[in-house]
């Protein structure tokens, strides 16, 4: 999965696999989480968000299944 760096105080990079609809978030503290069944448009909105952390908190956390990678 290719990751892109983002401007965020907590998030280092994000990546997305279209085939499995898996979103991967790497935090600056080194932990990585994978969120499952995330539509591609949600990933695109996250990538373009003014606040990546804010979008993550409001639109992704608590909505999609996840696991720590």
Q: Domain limits at 35?
A: 3-68
Q: How high is the mean pLDDT in each 10-residue block of the chain (69 residues)? A: 94 98 98 98 97 97 96
What secondary structure letter does DSSP report for 20?
T
Say how many domains are in the chain.
1
CA distances from 59 to 30, 41, 48 (A): 22, 12, 13
Q: What is the pLDDT of residue 18?
A: 97
| Cα distance between residue 32 and residue 12, in whole Å | 10
Give the CA dihedral 35, 7, 5, 15, nearest 10 degrees: 20
């Amino acid at each position: 999965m290719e990751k892109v760096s983002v401007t965020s105080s907590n998030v280092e990079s994000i990546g997305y696999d279209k085939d499995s609809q898996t979103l991967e978030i790497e935090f600056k503290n080194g932990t990585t989480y994978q969120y499952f069944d995330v539509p591609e448009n949600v990933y695109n909105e996250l990538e373009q968000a003014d606040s990546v952390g804010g979008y993550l908190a409001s639109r992704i956390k608590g909505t999609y299944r996840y696991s720590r990678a």
